[in-house]
Amino acid sequence: MFPIHDIRKDFPILHREVNGKPLVYFDNAATSQTPQQVIDVIVDYYSNHNANIHRGVHTLSQEATDLYEQARQKIQNHFNAKHSHEIILTSGTTHGINLVANGFSELLTEGYEVIVSALEHHSNIVPWQMLCERTGAQLKVLPMLEDGTLDMVAYNKLLSERTKLVFVNHISNALGTINPIETIIAKAHEVGAAILVDGAQACPHLVPDVQALDVDFYVASAHKMCGPTGVGMLYGKESWLKQLPPYQGGGEMISEVTFEKTTYADLPHKFEAGTPNICGGIAFGAALDYMNAIGFENIAAYENELLNYGTEQLLQIDGLKIYGTSQQKTSVISFNLEGIHPYDIGTILDKMGIAVRTGHHCAQPIMDFYNIPGTVRASFAFYNTKAEIDALVEGVKKAKMMLS
């Protein structure tokens, strides 16, 4: 049995009320909630160890440095990277993507192509558009199908020796589709292209093994997996990270500075200019500890139960349509009620203490594909319950009555 009762006790926020009703938090795909174990680490850091890292000889600085580097090793172990210096601590997924896109500016020219999937988050579209504008490379879109999966036949046709880079998310934040990244990575490599996988939405649900995947770059954000905002990680193969130029200049990323020439620090510091989010990095490590103690297999099995139950219950409502019906899917349900704007449903649900996301979910091209302004998105985490799903279903029924 999944220890849901004990798990919920770990999350103080789950016990507050919103608009006089118990909070039902179903916006986990936007950001997850933080367990007391991670909050304690944050409080302990600022209460006992706060100092700048990598520079001081004094005790606090050494403690902070040790804690920060231990966190990097936890992240390395979790993702099974070969070296800890292949883990770059970033401010989040968006930062990691921009770092890589910027690095490729010098490697791309006219005549080359970059493939981006139609299921992407804006943060995995815009940096590549900017990259293509700068370099003259062409942006190609890997199209999606009606059920919210990627068109793999079209992918095969798009790939050629001109393809330099492929970008795809592991799991779509708008629809929950789990993409077949093993195949996508292998095919990209067959034509000699590098590939970046956006794992922001996958890492809360499963554990990617970057060596087994043979992926070139993999990015994630701590705040979607029980950690704080403003911190994330970029995994890059050592050979790629050595090849790419630094992203930002500043302290920490240099080895020697004179006005004639600056030499850059070794990995990972070459990509970590300035004082990082030290406490955030340490708390990211604590979040991984927390989730690993529950076990990702247990988490996935329980969330799958929630997904199946939620899908069944919601589909009983007349006129409700779910977008994203892939067999391979995580606990995200994106839906609309016929003739009703998603924003209106979201507003009524909030009155009942139920937090969902409404809108295009930073994935406007997907909404254009379905020809809709947006959806209502309920995304479940391992600390949610079937009783909360019942509350959602009741809420949607009520919203339907009020609005139609």
Ligand X SMILES: *Cc1c(COP(=O)(O)O)cnc(C)c1O
Q: Note the residues at the interface with ligand X (CB under 6 A).
A: 92-94, 121, 123-124, 169, 173, 198, 200-201, 221, 224, 232
**CA–CA separation, 75 and 92 (whole Å):** 14
Residues 215 and 187 sit within 8 Å (Cβ to Cβ): no
Return the sign of the alpha-carbon dihedral for residues 209, 211, 212, 213: positive
Q: Which residue has the tokens 């340490």?
A: 282
Q: Is 203 a catalytic residue?
A: no
Contact yes or no for 295/369 (Cβ under 8 A): no
Would you say 123 or 149 has its CB closer to ligand X?
123
With beta carbons less than 8 A apart as the criterion, state whether 131 and 114 touch: yes
CB atoms under 10 Å from CB of 278, counted, come to 22
Nearer to ligand X, 121 or 270 (CB): 121
CB of 200 to ligand X, least distance (A): 3
Q: Which is nearer to ligand X, 41 or 197 (CB)?
A: 197
Cis peptide bond N-terminal to 204, omega within 30: no
Nearest approach, Cβ of residue 87 and ligand X (Å)? 17
Q: Which two tokens stand for residue 69?
A: 């580097």
92 vs 268, which CB is nearer to ligand X? 92
Contact 176, 160 (CB under 8 A): no
CB of 44 to ligand X, least distance (A): 24
Residue closer to ligand X by CB (options 92, 276) is 92
Nearest-approach distance from CB 204 to ligand X, in angstroms = 9
CB of 223 to ligand X, least distance (A): 6
Three-state secondary structure of 241-305: HHHCCCCCCCCCCEEEECCCCEEECCCCHHHCCCCCCHHHHHHHHHHHHHHHHHCHHHHHHHHHH
Nearer to ligand X, 96 or 285 (CB): 96
Are the beta carbons of 331 and 342 closer than 8 angstroms? no
> At closest approach, how far in Å is the CB of 95 from ligand X?
7
Give the residue numbers marked as catalytic: 362
